[in-house]
């Protein structure tokens, strides 16, 4: 029995020694090999909110431990739609790998005021000088989107801008009335304006007729559905911007014999 215990003890010590040697070998490997830097990822998304930190860290990796400080260069690709100093700021005072590290982090802060709901793109190119090589993973794409939490409409009073036949139809004002017992649904007395049909036909006798009343339904992904009240009012789809609180939608119709659509933008007053 004592011999069996001795065997297990020797086996355990052997495993520990092998494990320790393997860890030491990994460290030696990182010290001895040539150094190549690269972006650890190729892309990321930064949602920029009012009052939030709005920062993101982009990792620049290396294939070996840095011996001394290794500077690298970050430049903005001309294909970018975001502008440094306007849409974002690079917070690092210097960009370099610190002695003994294999990771460096580029810190970016987005600007809420200039961000767009539809987004802007910053494309960063990585380069270096001297003996430092750069891998093919030398470009990083950061998409910046303005994000505004939605808790409800700031106002129920809107102005509608209407476009049809490549021309501007009469604008009008309207009130969005909440549908009782529902969330984010509103009835509107007119989806395209009380004088749209008279404008489209050139006949003022149609004023306040065929006004396209209906309901706007706001979905969780900020798309909207317009549901017409009449059979000829076949409805439409669109989008809602939580930052500007604008509604935009396109209506189809079965009132006229000619098929066409009407674009409407509701801007809060």
Same domain for 94 and 116?
Answer: yes
Same domain for 53 and 137?
Answer: yes
Round to whole Å and give the CA distance between 224 and 238: 5
Residue 70 within a domain: yes
Q: Grade residue 23 by pLDDT with cuts at 50, 70 and 90.
A: very low
**Helix or strand or coil: residue 265?**
strand
Residues ≥6 apart with Cβ < 8 Å to 223 = 237, 238, 239, 240
Round to whole Å and give the CA distance between 191 and 172: 10
Question: What's the total number of domains in the chain?
Answer: 2
Which of residues 127, 146, 165 is at a domain's end? 146
Residue 49 within a domain: yes
Same domain for 199 and 219?
Answer: yes
Which strand (E) or helix (H) includes residue 258? Answer: none
Percentage of the chain with pLDDT > 70? 87
Tokens 């076949």 correspond to 234
Round to whole Å and give the CA distance between 90 and 57: 10
Strands (E), 31-156: 36-39, 43-48, 55-62, 70-71, 73-76, 88-90, 96-97, 103-110, 120-127, 133-134, 139-146
Range with the poorest average pLDDT among 16-25, 181-190, 224-233: 16-25
Which of residues 146, 176, 199 is at a domain's end? 146
Round to whole Å and give the CA distance between 28 and 22: 10
Q: 10 Å Cβ neighbour count for 20?
A: 10
Same domain for 55 and 96?
Answer: yes
Which of residues 146, 177, 192 is at a domain's end? 146
Q: Grade residue 34 by pLDDT with cuts at 50, 70 and 90.
A: low
Per the structure block, which two tokens stand in for 173? Answer: 């004002």
Same domain for 179 and 217?
Answer: yes
Q: For residue 224, what is the domain's CATH number?
A: 2.40.128
State the chain's mean pLDDT as an integer: 87
Residue 7 within a domain: no
Q: For residue 116, what is the domain's CATH number?
A: 2.60.40.2030
Per-residue pLDDT, averaged over 195-216, amounts to: 97
Tell me the per-residue pLDDT of 222-244, one tens digit each, with 9 for 90 and over: 899 999 999 999 999 999 988 88
Residue 112 DSSP one-character state: T
Per-residue pLDDT, averaged over 3-26, amounts to: 38
Same domain for 187 and 231?
Answer: yes
How many alpha carbons fall within 13 Å on the CB side of residue 69?
A: 4
Round to whole Å and give the CA distance between 185 and 193: 19
Residue 55 within a domain: yes
* Number of helical H runs and strand E runs in the chain: 2, 20
Residue 10 within a domain: no
Q: Are 55 and 109 in contact (CB under 8 A)?
A: yes
Same domain for 264 and 172?
Answer: yes
Sign of the CA dihedral 155, 156, 161, 162? positive
Round to whole Å and give the CA distance between 245 and 267: 7
**106, β-bridge pairs:** 58
Sign of the CA dihedral 95, 96, 98, 103? positive
How many alpha carbons fall within 13 Å on the CB side of residue 248?
A: 7
43-48 β-sheet, strand order: 43-48, 139-146, 120-127, 73-76
More confident residue, 226 or 65: 226
Residue 126 within a domain: yes
| Parent domain of 228 | 157-268
Residue 131 within a domain: yes
Q: Grade residue 33 by pLDDT with cuts at 50, 70 and 90.
A: low
Residue 105 within a domain: yes
């Amino acid at each position: 029995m004592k011999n069996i215990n001795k065997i297990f003890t020797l086996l355990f010590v052997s495993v520990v020694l092998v494990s320790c040697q393997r860890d030491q070998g990994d460290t030696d490997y990182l010290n001895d090999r040539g150094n190549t830097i690269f972006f650890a990822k190729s892309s990321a998304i930064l949602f920029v909110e009012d009052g939030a930190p709005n920062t993101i860290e982009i990792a620049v990796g290396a294939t070996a431990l840095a011996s001394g400080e290794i500077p690298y260069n970050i430049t903005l690709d001309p294909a970018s739609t975001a502008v440094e100093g306007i849409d974002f700021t690079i917070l690092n005072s210097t960009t370099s790998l610190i002695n003994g590290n294999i990771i460096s982090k580029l810190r970016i802060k987005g600007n809420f005021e200039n961000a767009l709901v539809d987004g802007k793109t910053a494309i960063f190119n990585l380069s270096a000088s001297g003996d430092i090589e750069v891998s093919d993973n030398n470009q990083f794409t950061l998409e910046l989107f303005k994000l505004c939490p939605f808790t409800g409409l700031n106002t129920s009073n809107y102005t509608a801008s209407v476009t049809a036949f490549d021309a501007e139809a009469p604008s009008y004002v309207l009130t969005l009335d909440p549908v009782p017992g529902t969330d984010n649904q509103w009835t509107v007395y007119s989806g395209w304006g009380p004088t749209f049909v008279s404008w489209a036909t050139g006949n003022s006798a149609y004023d306040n007729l065929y006004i396209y009343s209906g309901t706007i339904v706001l979905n969780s992904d900020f798309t909207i559905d317009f549901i017409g009240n009449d059979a000829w009012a076949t409805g439409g789809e669109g989008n809602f911007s939580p930052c500007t609180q604008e509604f935009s939608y396109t209506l189809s119709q079965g009132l006229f014999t000619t098929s066409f659509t009407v674009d409407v933008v509701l801007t809060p007053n």
